[in-house]
Amino acid sequence: MSEILQKSSLSKEDIITLLSFTDNEQQKLCNHAANIKQQQTGNIVWLRGLIELSNLCEKNCYYCGIRCSNKKVVRYSLTHDEVMLAVMQAYKKGYGSVAIQSGEITSKSFTDNINKIVADSKKMTHGEIGITLSCGEQSEETYRRWFESGADRYLLRIETSSEALYGKLHPSNEQHSYAKRVNALESLRKTGYQVGTGVMIGLPFQTKEMLADDLLFMKQFDIDMCGMGPYIEHTDTPLYAIREQLPPLTERLNLSLKMISLLRILMPDINIAATTALQAIQKEGRELAILAGANVLMPNITPKKYRDDYFLYNNKPVSARSDDDELAALEQGLRAIDHEIGFFRQGNSLHFHPLST
Ligand code: SAH
Ligand code: SF4
């Protein structure tokens, strides 16, 4: 085991071996990744205040609670003023960056709205707030327009780099094609964003070999940031029918932590998020991810009245505490593991080099 970790580069077989480690061996992998993180990005954790802009979605992914066929969802979209208020509060509290996420809508009115949100957020904060967008697949022209209005980063998960598995998780039509998703990632790269991707971990039919390929996909694509976490079933989705075939939740959590450590080893200077889905399995899931090599946290700052409706998976944590209390608790939790929040800084990926024009 320790010999594998001393290697200068990890092969696919090495990654598969490391993904199957447990207990003490998993801890050694985690410690190794933590050392690399300490050398590269230190013990600072960057915040992105997460604004769940809308749960309207044109797509029908088999795993997701807000898929368009789920008629039980109460659909909402934040008003422009609600978004601006959330951005302003995040700015004043020193979050440094916000992440604006939504279902996938490609209409002109929606893409215009995002454009205005980006432009006004930058204007209102004297260009200081960092903006990550995560609004699905859009045309290259739309991506470019948002970038030129001031968006800094874009997160579009590939979900799985196995085209065959991707096909099992989505309806088979042009709207849900794997090739289209890869093309969208390529458009984002061409446009000049800091590009993030990620996968779900512990999906039905997913093997360790596929997970190793996911990591190699991220390395080969030379991503700047990653948001990946466990797949968690949602009662009102087609995949719920095959929930018995899933690995237990604790195994999905551990696999996710090992994926984070391995990605930190493969790509030492990128930004890696400790995602909310980890917290849905274990209360301290995000802190465990920070210890395993992650360096970004995305506290939810969506207006409270909408939070229950952005329900992607079962047990999605919705805190009864105020956002300020949540942040204070987070800070305390991080201090206990010798980390601190990088307030008032955007926290861009050290891996990123802007396109030269
Ligand atoms: N609509 C956009 C962004 C919002 S969805 C998009 O799909 O890109 C954000 C992420 O939530 C998805 O990329 C997916 O990886 C994750 N997600 C959806 N359903 C999930 C589930 N049941 N368990 C875990 N993650 C899920
Ligand atoms: Fe829509 Fe994204 Fe959910 Fe797919 S994962 S149904 S695109 S919100």
Domain ranges in the chain? 29-341
> CB under 6 Å to ligand 1: residues?
63-64, 101, 103-104, 134, 136, 156-157, 159, 200, 231-232, 234, 277, 312-313
* Two structure tokens written together for 141: 């022209």
Q: What's the chain's length in residues?
A: 357
Q: Is the pLDDT of residue 338 over 70?
A: yes
pLDDT tens readout for residues 177-219: 999 999 999 999 999 999 999 999 999 999 999 999 999 999 9
| Distance from Cα 61 to the centre of ligand 2, integer Å | 6
Task: For residues 22-33, give the mean pLDDT.
Answer: 97
Q: What is the pLDDT of residue 1?
A: 55
Q: Which CATH number fits domain 29-341: 3.40.50.450, 3.40.50.970, 2.60.40.350, 3.20.20.70?
A: 3.20.20.70
Q: Ligand 2: which residue has its CA nearest to atom 2?
A: 103
CB-based contact 157:199 (threshold 8 Å): yes
| Distance from Cα 274 to the centre of ligand 2, integer Å | 20
In this structure, what DSSP letter does residue 248 have? P
**Ligand located closest to 198 CA:** 1
**Ligand located closest to 63 CA:** 1
What 3-state DSSP class applies to 277? helix
CB-based contact 156:137 (threshold 8 Å): yes
**Ligand located closest to 280 CA:** 1
What is this structure's pTM?
A: 0.97
Q: What is the 3-state secondary structure (H, E, C) of 13-71?
A: HHHHHHHCCCHHHHHHHHHHHHHHHHHHCCCEEEECEEEEEECCCCCCCCCCCCCCCCC
For residue 41, give Cα distances in angstroms to 38, 197, 219, 246, 271. 6, 19, 18, 34, 9
pLDDT tens readout for residues 270-300: 999 999 999 999 999 999 999 999 999 999 9
DSSP H helical ranges for the chain: 2-6, 12-19, 23-40, 80-93, 108-124, 140-148, 163-169, 178-191, 208-221, 249-266, 276-281, 285-292, 323-336
